[in-house]
Each structure stands twice: as structure tokens, then as C-alpha cells.
A and B are shown apart, each in its own frame.
Chain A
């Protein structure tokens, strides 16, 4: 029999686990990726929250969090070479009596390469399984929950919203291009079509997935030399040594529980 047992059922787990998830510091990353035919440089930050907790004893021995929410802020920019819009006005010549042949100059419109900055914030929800990992590190006993596998992110809605944001950003950027007025809508549509929902998904997935793959959060931290009572005037601190710690998911009739056993000396 362990010296100390603590156990919580799923009701309590739905208080304790989301609180642990919410304490995770903001995640961040940067890099570059493909946005359809373009290359985008991006930076992103994300926070995790919420989720509904289900304790599932062996098998499969996981803490399942459904509807976990990943709120993210994404900033990226990509360059568009507008040369595909270049055109020339045809030269027109007319013959004027007594003057001779007069031609208009050949007028060519060339478009520059523009940089389109995009900022977008949204969220995705996902379901992930976590397995308990108990270890003694740096003088502390830690009970961590470590994600199993790579959670699948439901990013289709987020991708559609991001595509709209990209469209708005492209239109704003094109407005600054001289002479593009008459073909603004055409140019924007052409670029959006070139990117497509697949292009956005191809950018968003690789940005967000690393935030949840390898995800670990801490449920319990206990110093190996555990202070039962702090020092007080005339009284020494009272400490015990946590010799071992074990965390398991156990099945009991009617409810599943997270059980933590500790031995002290």
C-alpha cells in the first residue's frame, strides 16, 4: 500500500487538466513555406485552451482531450511578380494630309513585384490523446501528459477564412500599384485562384501541426525533498523525501480515475 494516494475522477480531471493546458506558455515559430505558387515567410504564435477530458484506462491508457482549441496569430508575407499582367498599347499610325504619317508611341505597361503582408488570427480545434509520463528531473518529480502521435487538425474552415484574408490583403496591395485600376479585380482573382484553398491548407497545416505534435503539459510537480511545513520562528522546516511516484489511469465501476501513488520517507 502506498504511503499516499490521490485520485481524481473525470469530473475533477475536467478541472485539473484544462487548467494545466491553459498554463502552457504561448507557442511560437517562424519559417517559410509554399503558398500555392508563391513562397511565404511566416511567423506564428499560438495558445492552447479548453478541451473536454476523457480518462481512458488501458487499453489504450490515454487521457483524451476533445475540442481542444488552438488559438493562433499568423503573420506572413509573400511576393507576387505581376509581370504576367504586363501589356503594351498597340502603336497607331495615321496619315494626315500635308503632314504625313503620324504614329502614337508604343506604350507598354509593366507591373512590379509586390510584397503582400497578411496578418490573420483564428483558431482550430482538435482531439488529442495524451499518455502519462512520470519522471524525476532536476530534483522534482513530474507527472507530464505527452501527446500520442500527431493530432489531426481540422483546418478547412480556418483555411477558408485565411484565403479570404489573403484576398483582402492582395487587393489592398494592388491598389498601390499605378495603372492597375482597370484590371484590379482581374488580377486579384487570378492570384487567389492560383493560390486556392489547397495552397492555404498547404501553408497552414505545416505551421500549426508542430504546435500540437510533441505537445507536453505538466500535471504534477513535486519536489523530491518535499516541504511539509515551512520554517517558522523557533521551528525548523519539516521535510520528507518523495521516494517514488506513480501515476496510472484506472478503471472502476461507473467511472475512470487518474490515480497517483507516492511513497515517502
Chain B
């Protein structure tokens, strides 16, 4: 039971990070019907931005809540600007072209960011400083939860609530939903769709950067290719929940995170070695999509002739 609770906590920790990244995928997809393959790399860039802010301000020697908040917000701002730039110069010009063209552009952007970061910072992993004095709280039995894990939960929940507020209670959120519903009509209604799309990219990228900084407090190493597999799993999470659906992305992220830790913890008992960890996300996705072709919370659109 103790180990189960422990696995649950670990799974939720990884899951909330996946959820934060998945939100970016799902929002962009909801508006543009476009898979932003570079999103995982924005997550990585956000982590690097966090590293430079933390070391630049000397937070590594004096950890505090303040230091963490500055690093988190700083990296979110940097990533938001980064996202806007990518959208403006790479995606906007190809938006009107076919799906394949936008896909290749996204892959190109992803390769560009990865290789640029490898060039600038080399492939060697860098240690990320601990921004909060870490301690572990013992729950019942042997299960424990660390301060960084609590932090990851708290920040993720806060950001998700904030996102929900922005999307459903503000004017810009209404505009976002309108654009997602029908881009052309939204334009006719006087919505500045280009601005809304930029804003969506900024929002998604900021959430990915938050995910990046939070990851570093859990596994304190960053490297230029860290976004590939995490980004892919977050994307799987977004599709699992029903791509384009905001609560679905959170649900998908948590599910994938938990499935992964459960396979590491218990898989061996049912004959699945822990090396299959990375395959589990895909296996779940495939099974779910075969039963519900548009994801768990996705709605099927009836095709009209």
C-alpha cells in the first residue's frame, strides 16, 4: 500500500508536468488544427531560460520561494516571447498551405531549436540549482512527498486554474474559443485572429516553460534534447484526452504520468519490464483511440457532404 501511494504521488508529479505541456499542444491544435512539433523544444528552452535566470541572479546559493517565483515567471515570459517569434516567422507564412507543409515546417523548427541549443550549450547535461531548500514530508507508512513535488502540484494546479479562468472568463478567452470554433467567422466578427493566435502560442509556450522549470526541481538536469521524448509523451497525452480539449489534456497528462510510474513499479509482476516505460504511453493511446477515435473527452464531428 505504501509503495502504491508512493507510485501514485510520483505518477501525479510527472503527470502534472505532462499536463502542463499537453495544454500547449491542445490549445494550438484547437485553434489552428496544427501539431506544433516544436512545443517540446520550447519546454526545453524554458528550462534553459530558467537556468540562466537562476544562475544570473545568484539564486543557486540562496534558495527561497522568491527565487523560485522569479525564475518560474522569468522563464515563462522568455518562452512566451519565443513562442510568439516562432509563430510569427515560421508558422504564420505557411498557415494557408497544406497540412503536410505546416508539419514539415514544425519539424524544421524543432530540429532548428534542438541543433541551435546543442551548438550553443553542447550536448552535455547541465545541473540545475535547487531553488527551494528541499525536504521530505513523511506521510503514513513509508510513503513520502518531497517539497518539490508539492510545489509541482501547487504550481500546476494554480496555472491550470488560471488558464481555465483566462479561457472561460475573460474577453480574450472568449475570442480564443471563437477562433477555435471557426476562424473565418471569428474574423468576420471583428476578432483580430492573428493576435489571438499569437496569444495562444504565448500562453502555451509559457505553460511549457513552467513545466520545464518544474521538471528541473524534480530531476535537476537539463540538456538540449530533453524536450523530444517528454514533448512526444505530452503530445500523446493531449491526443489521449481529445486534442483541442483543455480538460482532456490535463486528464491525459495525469493518466500517462501514472501509467508510466505504475509500469516501473508493478509492471514486472505482470510481465512488463520497466524498460517498456516509454512504450506504455503509446500503447494506452492506441487502445483508447481504437475505442474512442477522438480521445477520451473529444467530441466526434459528424462529417457533412
- Answer whether A and B are interacting partners: no
Residues of B within 8 A of A (CB): none
Interface set of A (CB-CB < 8 Å, partner B): none
